[in-house]
């Protein structure tokens, strides 16, 4: 029997989307193509995204003889023949976060499952959010966790030296607390800053905080807090890093704190664990679920708790690395692709 022919919406690879959505889309579609259990047809957007998705894609189902369409985001083609798989990454409004909490996102989370045949979510945390109230199609929800792969790992690529990035971004020899992409309000960089200030009050380890990502108004506000807390000489903002430099810096870091107010999965946590770097995560969060027993769980609203977590990570880095590597080994793109294949075969 020939493999099912599935159209895969790859718009996040061509139109600006949050970094996590791009990572999830690329990792999954490439793993599905490598395995060949499904015949994947990449659906590349032409023109404006909304009319392409809702007018052009239904026609492609017929012309390309597709069994259905896999959407890596919550929006998908409502009309037309064929099966539909929707992806809901998170429901930030349930956690008092304004980002991606507009009427459009709420509509797709609430009513997309009415049309979708399956709703894919990356964590039990998101699945619980969907089920907190009556939701049409809640029984269609399936948890499929994302994976991690190169260049993130505990060893650099052959012929490369991680320490080069220290000179490239003018970083010193002090232990690094790395906050990848913490330039948006929901990432809660302020909680890390208050924790770091508490560490300084105690005369604890001399930790340098490195925040990657583009300049944003949220980052500028947090840099004002840096100044108020007297942390200016302990905080660096090198801007956007490519994945190779980010992977090197992740391996060199002593800790990766991820205290976001809302996450559906949190790639920085998984990438840190895969690099042998301890993570500090917020209690009762998707990132705590992802880290499992390998994570240092703190109360993100309590600077003392955050400071304790940072100090523990720095002091116990080498003993904690093995738990992280073991946990990360559970999250492969191969496994993710297998679960998505099973989902589509179930629909067939």
Q: What is the spatial distance between Cα 318 and Cα 279, in angstroms, rounded to a whole number?
A: 13
pLDDT of 126 above 60: yes
Q: What is the spatial distance between Cα 274 and Cα 253, in angstroms, rounded to a whole number?
A: 13
By the 8 A CB rule, do 18 and 51 touch? no
Helix axes 267-274, 19-35, angle to 10 degrees: 60
Helix axes 303-315, 317-328, angle to 10 degrees: 90
What is the per-residue pLDDT across 142-196, written as a single tens digit (0 to 9) for each? 999 999 999 999 999 888 899 999 999 999 999 999 999 999 999 999 999 999 9
Confidence category of residue 329, pLDDT binned at 50, 70, 90: very high
What is the per-residue pLDDT across 218-272, written as a single tens digit (0 to 9) for each? 999 999 999 999 999 999 999 999 999 999 999 999 999 999 999 999 999 999 9
What's the CATH number for 5-147+332-347? 3.40.50.2000
Q: What is the pTM of this model?
A: 0.93
Long-range contacts, stretch 14-22, CB < 8 angstroms, 24+ apart: 14/44, 14/45, 15/45, 15/49, 17/73, 18/100, 19/181, 19/267, 20/89, 20/264, 20/265, 20/266, 20/267, 21/72, 21/73, 21/89
What's the CATH number for 164-328? 3.40.50.2000
Shared fold status for 5-147+332-347 and 164-328: yes
What is the per-residue pLDDT across 22-59, written as a single tens digit (0 to 9) for each? 999 999 999 999 999 999 999 999 989 999 999 999 99
pLDDT of 109 above 70: yes
pLDDT of 134 above 60: no
Domain boundaries, the chain: 5-147+332-347, 164-328
- Partners of residue 143 on adjacent β-strands: 121
330-342 mean pLDDT: 97
Residue with tokens 């990572």: 23
Which stretch of DSSP H or E encloses residue 267? helix 267-274
């Amino acid at each position: 029997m020939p493999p099912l022919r599935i159209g895969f919406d790859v718009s996040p690879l061509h139109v600006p989307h949050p970094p996590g959505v791009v990572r999830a889309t690329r990792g999954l579609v490439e793993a599905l193509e490598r395995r060949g259990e499904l015949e994947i047809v990449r659906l590349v957007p032409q023109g404006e995204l909304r009319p392409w998705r809702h007018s052009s894609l239904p026609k492609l189902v017929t012309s390309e003889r597709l069994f259905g369409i896999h959407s890596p985001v919550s929006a998908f083609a409502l009309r037309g023949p064929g099966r539909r798989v929707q992806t809901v990454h998170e429901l930030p409004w349930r956690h008092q976060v304004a980002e991606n909490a507009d009427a459009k996102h709420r509509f797709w989370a609430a009513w997309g499952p009415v049309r979708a045949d399956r709703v894919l979510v990356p964590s039990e945390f998101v699945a619980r959010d969907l089920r907190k109230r009556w939701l049409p199609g809640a029984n269609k929800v399936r948890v499929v966790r994302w994976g991690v792969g190169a260049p993130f790992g505990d060893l650099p690529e052959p012929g490369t030296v991680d320490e080069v990035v220290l000179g490239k971004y003018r970083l010193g020899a002090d232990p690094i607390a790395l906050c990848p992409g913490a330039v948006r309000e929901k990432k809660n960089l302020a909680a890390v800053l208050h924790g770091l200030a508490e560490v300084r009050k105690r005369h604890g380890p001399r930790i340098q905080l490195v925040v990657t990502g583009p300049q944003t108004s949220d980052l500028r506000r947090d840099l004002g807090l840096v100044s108020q807390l007297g942390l200016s000489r302990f905080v660096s903002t090198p801007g956007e890093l490519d994945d190779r430099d980010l992977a090197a810096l992740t391996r060199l870091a002593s800790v990766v704190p991820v205290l976001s107010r809302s996450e559906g999965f949190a790639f920085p946590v998984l990438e840190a664990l895969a690099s042998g770097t301890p993570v500090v995560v917020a209690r009762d969060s998707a990132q705590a679920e992802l880290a499992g027993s390998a994570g240092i769980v703190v109360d993100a609203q309590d600077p003392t708790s955050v400071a304790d977590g940072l100090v523990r990570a720095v002091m116990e880095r080498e003993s904690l690395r093995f738990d992280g590597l073991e946990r990360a080994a559970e999250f492969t793109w191969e496994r993710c692709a297998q679960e998505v294949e099973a989902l589509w075969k179930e629909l067939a």
